[in-house]
Amino acid sequence: MNSPAIRRALISVSDKHGLTELAQGLVAAGVEIFSTGGTRRHLEEAGLQVQDVADYTGFPEMMDGRVKTLHPRIFAGILCRHDREDDMQALSDHSIHSFELVIVNLYPFESTIAKPDVTPAEAIEQIDIGGPSLVRAAAKNHAFSTIVTGPQQYGDVLEELARDGATSLPTRQRLAGEAFEMTARYDRAIADYFSSQSEEEFPATISIPLQRTSTLRYGENPHQQAALYRRLDRSSDGLMSAQQLNGKELSYNNLLDLDSALTIARSFQDPAVSVIKHNNPCGAAESESLAEAAQRAMDGDPTSAFGSILGLNRNLDQATAEVITQPGLFIEAIVAPAFDDAALEMLTTIPKWKNNVRLMQVGELPPPQIASQPRHIDGGLLLQTADVLPDQPDQWQVVTEAQPDEEQLRELRFAWHIVRHIKSNAIALCLNRSLVGAGAGQMSRVDSVQISIRKAGDRAQGSVLSSDAFFPFPDSIHQAADAGVVAVIQPGGSRRDDEVTAACNERGLVMLMTGQRHFKH
């Protein structure tokens, strides 16, 4: 099939970026331009000759532009099949022009509803009717019509037009696919907006719009393939909008660990550093200075810290860089709001680090979003709200005879804050607002307690212990007391809470119950 020569273009766009240059290229190629309303005025102001769609159809724009392109003389010209004599005869019988090129982008519905004070009436006015119809018609008839839906496509189309006077069929097929993706996303955004106006927490049906940003070298293991996609329905903050300043290409596992590191670090108010290994924190600390927090975090589990991922909630300065580049250490990747020049120089020039360490700059960190988190299961999807709501210490209860002092309360708040980020069954031993021993992902809670004590070693003496869920038996309390733990924080809710409390009283431990668990499966 021969590609039809492009003789006429219909242009109706909301986003006018690059429009003048595009139209100038079309005119230079001998293409006649038909346009509507604001697009026509924009082109005429640029000195270009444009045919008014209303003059062509013989029907004026009406209802503030709600009706302008929905006319048989427009849609027949787009949908005609150039290899069908009856189609072309119909055009001739009714004095209809064919449109071989359609350039349309839609009303800015998504950016409109993103405004915090938008009203339903304002949102509804940004629901495009004619635009999607034009896009779908041209995309359906891509054998003969070229559909262009965004400024990023202008250059390729102009290049082919200048060279061949037409576009190739593979190009039209690609553009048609991109056009249908756009209209599908647009309709989904509208449907999601109406769902959001209801009182239901979770809509009856959902669609998560994603755009591939990169193909990764491999997945969790070298025999698995992987790619990274960006959610189009979420603001681009955090890791997805980060700038890589140094280092090799990020791997699948790097991205998972960087996300976890950033999630933990940004959840603290004071300067904080998290150390991630295999998607679990092996160290974390907050302090009055970032350098001190980094030192305490790295000391949490020095063996595991080698080859780990770091997350920081402050700009990485030279003092902090000196801490994390001590002899014998190596860090796979670091994510931070920014990197000071001196720190960047140090991190990228030390032997063995240089081009190996991946440095991710994310900019200012807004508070964590209370958004829905999807998780795939075979044949389906689980959806829940993120566990990012702040703790409520005013609802905690001291259930033991021993009462906590202010310093212990400070430690317990830190311990309860960090345990939500450890895979369950989760136990955290904390001292001086730093994680000194973590027990993660065990099938029994007593095993997690034993691992956290072993990891802490002598630092268990005087530490506090947090548990993401209740203790089913008092045996863990006795192990903790034997190791030197002085206070415990846990949700409570076990049938044996009284036995667990009695064990604390017997050993002189403070225990708080929060009434809220933090499972992280």
Return phi, psi of residue 323, to 5°.
-70, -45
355 and 427 in one domain? no
63 and 109 in one domain? yes
Which stretches does DSSP call E strand in 200-254? 210-215, 227-231, 243-246
424 and 490 in one domain? yes
- CATH value at residue 28: 3.40.50.1380
Show which of 339, 361, 383 is a domain's final residue: 361
Looking at the DSSP assignment, which residues form a beta bridge with residue 358? 333
490 and 411 in one domain? yes
41 and 153 in one domain? yes
Q: Check residue 117 and give its pLDDT.
A: 85
Q: Buried (b) or exposed (e) across 137-170, using 16+ Cβ within 10 A?
A: bbbebbebbbbbbbbebbeebbebbeeeebbeee
Whether residue 43 lies inside any domain: the answer is yes
- Give, as one character, the DSSP assignment of residue 339: B
190 and 251 in one domain? no
- Catalytic residue, candidates 16, 71, 140, 478: 140
186 and 50 in one domain? yes
- Catalytic residue, candidates 16, 71, 248, 278: 278
Closest CA to 231 of 243, 223, 239, 221: 239
Half-sphere exposure of 159 (CA within 13 A, CB side): 6
Closest CA to 362 of 232, 270, 240: 240
Show which of 133, 166, 196 is a domain's final residue: 196
User: Coil, strand, or helix at residue 347?
Assistant: helix
| Alpha-carbon span 297 to 295, nearest angstrom | 5
Whether residue 367 lies inside any domain: the answer is no
Show which of 130, 162, 196 is a domain's final residue: 196
Domain tally, the chain = 3
Cβ within 8 Å of residue 281, ≥6 positions away: 260, 264, 274, 275, 418, 421, 422, 435, 438
Instruction: Give helix then strand counts, H and E, for the chain.
Output: 19, 21
The residue range of the domain holding 335 is 238-361
Q: What is the pTM of this model?
A: 0.77
156 and 295 in one domain? no
Parallel, antiparallel, or unpaired for β 227-231 and 210-215? antiparallel
Whether residue 71 lies inside any domain: the answer is yes
Please, are residues 293 and 311 in contact by the beta-carbon 8 Å criterion?
A: no
Q: Check residue 185 and give its pLDDT.
A: 86
182 and 264 in one domain? no
| Alpha-carbon span 499 to 472, nearest angstrom | 9
145 and 25 in one domain? yes
Whether residue 381 lies inside any domain: the answer is no
Whether residue 208 lies inside any domain: the answer is no
Whether residue 391 lies inside any domain: the answer is no
Residue owning tokens 């038996």: 473
Element (H, E) at 293: helix 290-299
User: Coil, strand, or helix at residue 322?
Assistant: helix
Could you list the mean pLDDT of each consecutive 10-residue stretch along the chain, which spans 521 residues? 82 87 88 86 86 78 68 86 87 88 86 81 83 91 92 89 89 93 87 78 78 91 93 75 90 93 92 94 95 95 92 96 90 95 93 89 81 86 87 92 95 95 94 95 93 95 96 94 96 94 96 94 87
Element (H, E) at 510: strand 510-513
Q: Is 140 a catalytic residue?
A: yes
44 and 188 in one domain? yes
Looking at the DSSP assignment, which residues form a beta bridge with residue 384? 373
- CATH value at residue 424: 3.40.140.20
Closest CA to 282 of 350, 332, 222: 332
Q: Check residue 106 and give its pLDDT.
A: 85
Which residue pairs, CB below 8 angstroms and at least 24 apart, start in 59-62?
A: 61/36, 61/37
Which residue pairs, CB below 8 angstroms and at least 24 apart, start in 160-169?
A: 161/6, 161/25, 161/26, 161/29, 161/31, 162/25, 162/28, 162/29, 164/3, 165/5, 165/6, 165/29, 166/3, 166/4, 166/5, 166/6, 166/100, 167/3, 167/6, 168/3, 169/1, 169/3, 169/143
